[in-house]
Amino acid sequence: MVKKSFIIFGASSEIALSFKQLCLEHGHTTLSISQNNNFDSLDSSIIKVKNYIDDFKAIKVKLQDYENINIIFFNGALYENRPIQFPSEEQIKMTEYINYTIPLELTKKLNAQIPGIQKFIYISSMAAVKYRYKNYIYGQNKRKLEKSIQDLNLNSYLIMRFGKVLTRMSEGHKNPPFTLSNTKAATLLMKKINSQGLVYPNFGLFVISIFLTLTPKKVINKLNL
């Protein structure tokens, strides 16, 4: 296996932490970028930022030390779980900023200013297949991100559409078929890392995506799928 450098945005998420461990086990190099204050600021493989976009210059300088670069975005926020929780106006704005604006704007900057990036990798969601009442804002922004990335005509990209992954973000949501632990999700992502385009972690989720695509939205919302 060719050794890679994985630049991990949103590195404090549970999937990101599990994925980083797999990278190290496979001999890959990692650089973790996070807004989480609990990260060790003395670790040279970690960058703590206040804002990913505003602090881009510091990130750009650090990337000069890496080769065979693969950029991966684990940024995600899910505030809605209707009818249990309807997002506030501020949460709606944050959902868009975290799930859409940050990965898209960073991709544009990185693609334009960092030569030789091998691949951009994005964590998407089954919520992007069809906007559903229970997580409409989240799904809308994941879908917007997918479409925007496809329109950028990047040299190489991978979009992984997971179902539910057991993390802090998904607490309080029911477990649909093919729910994954964060370690299993990270393992499946590593196995698919050389794939291209829009990819599902397993065939079952692909089948469900077809079902959701063909099912009228009113039926999906009524069944709370």
Query: pLDDT averaged over consecutive 10-residue blocks of the chain (225 residues)?
Result: 90 93 94 80 78 94 93 93 91 96 97 94 94 91 97 95 86 82 94 95 91 82 69
Of 171, 208, 165, 176, which is closest to residue 81 (Cα–Cα)?
171
The residue length of the chain stands at: 225
> If you search the block for the tokens 């609990």, which residue do you land on?
38
**pTM to 2 decimal places:** 0.92
CB atoms within 10 A of CB 143: 18
Convert 17-42 to b/e letters by CB count within 10 Å (16 or more is b).
bbbbebbeeeebbbbbbbbeeebeee
Query: Backbone phi, then psi, for 55, in 5-degree steps?
Result: -95, 25
- The per-residue pLDDT for 44 is 72
Convert 83-111 to b/e letters by CB count within 10 Å (16 or more is b).
eeeebeeebbeebbebbbbbbbebbebbb
